[in-house]
Amino acid sequence: MSATDPHQLLGAYLLGGLEPDEAAAFEQHLARCTDCRQELDELASLPALLDALPVSDAVALGTAAGREPVPSVPAPAAVPRRLLDELSTRRRKVRLRWTAAVAAAAAACLALGILAAPLVNPPPKPDASYSVQAGDGLQFTVGMVKKTWGTELAVEGRSLPVDGTLSLWVKDSGGGEERACAWTATPSGRVRITGATPLQLTNIASVEMRDGQQQTMAVIAVPHG
């Protein structure tokens, strides 16, 4: 590489593009030239910025720079400063894209965590499960899970009434009863719902499903011993 003006070697020296003898000659010039030393200090961060710039952006930047008219005798300070300005603008755009990507990734991870929660924490297996099928096709299953506070009831039903309010009632061995859950009938005649009762599983004598008029549609007797 050759140049009649040592000032024009500043960019190549900064980016490590000079041959060893040229670099040594420029360093001798640098020791005598205050302007070059000042400009070199101002541009000291340029190599690190260029290293951090994605390859695609660097190529685009070089292409854009190649379309600009180049004066026959370039002003050595103007070219690097213009490059830094454009590089700074592009770096801001890159940071915005990365911020958006990180936000999207975070949102995706959060959504994945929410969706995966039922898989990571599956519902407990029932300690007892009972089913009944009525003559009109109604199917009724209850899974019972022991809890310290009572019993959790997982209810599944098919071919149920398609209108009105349905409910699940739990009776104890002494004849007492209480409602464990209630729901609005679905157009499909199906339901999957969870109910609860303070009765311990050992104290539950039967479970009944009732319609909106409190008429019993199905009964499950819970055997003990």
Q: Look at residue 107 in the predicted model and tell me its pLDDT.
A: 55
Q: Look at residue 28 in the predicted model and tell me its pLDDT.
A: 83
How far apart CA 221 and CA 131 sit, in angstroms, is 10
What radius of gyration do the chain's Cα atoms show?
39
3-state secondary structure (DSSP) of residue 32: helix
Contact 222, 132 (CB under 8 A): no
Q: Look at residue 125 in the predicted model and tell me its pLDDT.
A: 83
Q: Look at residue 71 in the predicted model and tell me its pLDDT.
A: 44
Residues in contact with 27: Cβ distance below 8 Å, sequence separation at least 6, in sequence order: none
Q: Which of 118, 213, 210, 199 is nearest to 157 (CA)?
A: 210
Residue carrying the six token digits 């519902």: 123
How far apart CA 134 and CA 217 sit, in angstroms, is 8
**Sign of the alpha-carbon dihedral angle for 121, 152, 194, 221:** positive
Q: Look at residue 121 in the predicted model and tell me its pLDDT.
A: 59
Please list the rounded mean pLDDT of every run of 10 residues in the chain (225 residues).
63 71 80 80 62 51 46 45 56 51 50 53 79 85 93 92 93 91 92 93 93 90 82
Longest dimension (CA), the chain: 110
Q: Look at residue 104 in the predicted model and tell me its pLDDT.
A: 52
How far apart CA 178 and CA 198 sit, in angstroms, is 9
